[in-house]
């Protein structure tokens, strides 16, 4: 894909939840800027979505993790292990860089131990260089700050609130050539999203809709209390005024006897407090950010 010079291209690889849905894969977002392919979270199926985008797995320059819930990391091993297999869709010859809050380096170390036999076999049988099999993992402080800077691309992490027991948890802001993107990560409404999201070109935020019939049930209520409701997200969009707001990680809580809140109602609840541009994200939706604005398309 030809990208305009100075642009940022954001592709929603996975907009789902732990629910194993063929329509919405696990949380993962591809950000392309400055000639770099950067992956934010690595949920279920992200290598498949990258292939659909025409991005060889070995070309991913770095992976950034928001937190350690399994639906955000369970595609990481597949991405890493498949990226150094020799065919063109893999082909990595240098280590995969991995950035995340404290615990990231420990996870990478144990993944290498878990797959030691596969690595040994690939090196012996397919002449994969040992360097290509490595993950260079870097923990950054949960308080955040600039965690990556290369090719004119700056990635800033900031702390968010995904619940008292789900710490650390962060969001990310990506800046390049005067353009900006904010990825909220999984969070309840948090002042850091407002501070880092003010005036960005694209603000991609999670959302969780709880049916009124489930509001009094402990488990659905607990899930909702870890996330941002549509009206709360709308208030965030209204305060930050991005050029475009988009939803991802769309949590539609349901039960055998209660239907989920439909997407149309999620949009309506958001619109009750926010009148700006809004997109309900889908897998393989693509946003191209230039000085002229933010255009929306779809892979394929």
For residue 58, CA distances in Å to 8, 23, 45, 64, 241 come to 20, 25, 16, 16, 36
Rg (C-alpha) for the chain, rounded Å, is 19
Closest CA to 44 of 65, 66, 15, 67: 15
- Residues paired with 293 in a beta bridge: 290
Given the structure tokens 């392919």, which residue do they identify? 37
Judge if the upstream peptide bond of residue 119 is cis by omega within 30 degrees of 0. Answer: no
CB atoms within 10 A of CB 212: 8
H runs (alpha helix) in the chain: 46-52, 70-73, 76-83, 104-114, 116-126, 191-197, 218-224, 230-240, 263-271
Catalytic, 71? Answer yes
Q: What's the token pair of residue 273?
A: 């407090």
E strands in 87-214: 96-100, 135-139, 145-150, 153-159, 170-176, 179-183, 202-209
- Helix (H, G, I), strand (E, B), or coil: what is residue 150? strand
Inter-residue contact 279 to 297 (CB < 8 Å): no
From 71, 139, 186, 283, active-site residue = 71
Q: Which residues are catalytic?
A: 71
């Amino acid at each position: 894909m030809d990208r305009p010079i100075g642009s940022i291209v954001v592709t929603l690889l996975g907009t789902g939840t732990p629910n194993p849905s063929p329509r919405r894969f696990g949380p993962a977002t591809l950000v392309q800027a400055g000639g770099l392919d950067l992956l934010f979270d690595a949920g279920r199926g992200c290598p498949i979505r990258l292939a659909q985008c025409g991005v060889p797995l070995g070309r991913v320059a770095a992976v950034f993790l928001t937190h350690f819930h399994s639906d955000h990391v369970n595609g990481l091993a597949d991405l890493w292990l498949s990226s150094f297999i020799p065919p063109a869709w893999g082909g990595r010859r240098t280590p995969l860089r991995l950035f995340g809050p404290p615990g990231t380096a420990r996870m990478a170390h144990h993944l290498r131990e878990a797959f030691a036999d596969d690595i040994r076999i690939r090196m012996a049988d397919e002449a994969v260089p040992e360097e290509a099999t490595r993950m260079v993992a870097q923990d950054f402080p949960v308080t955040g700050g600039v965690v990556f800077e290369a090719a004119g691309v700056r990635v800033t992490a900031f702390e968010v609130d995904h619940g008292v027991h789900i710490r650390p948890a962060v969001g990310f802001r990506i800046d390049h050539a005067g353009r900006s993107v904010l990825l909220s990560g999984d969070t309840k409404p948090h002042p850091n999203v407002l501070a880092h999201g003010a005036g960005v070109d694209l603000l991609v935020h999670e959302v969780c809709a709880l049916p009124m019939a489930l509001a009094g049930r402990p488990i659905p209520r607990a899930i909702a209390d870890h996330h941002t409701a549509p009206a709360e997200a709308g208030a965030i969009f209204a305060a930050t005024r991005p050029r475009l707001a988009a939803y991802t990680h769309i949590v539609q809580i349901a039960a055998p006897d209660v239907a989920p809140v439909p997407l149309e109602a999620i949009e309506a609840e958001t619109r009750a407090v926010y009148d700006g541009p809004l997109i309900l994200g889908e897998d393989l939706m693509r946003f191209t950010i230039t000085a002229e604005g933010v255009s929306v398309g779809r892979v394929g």
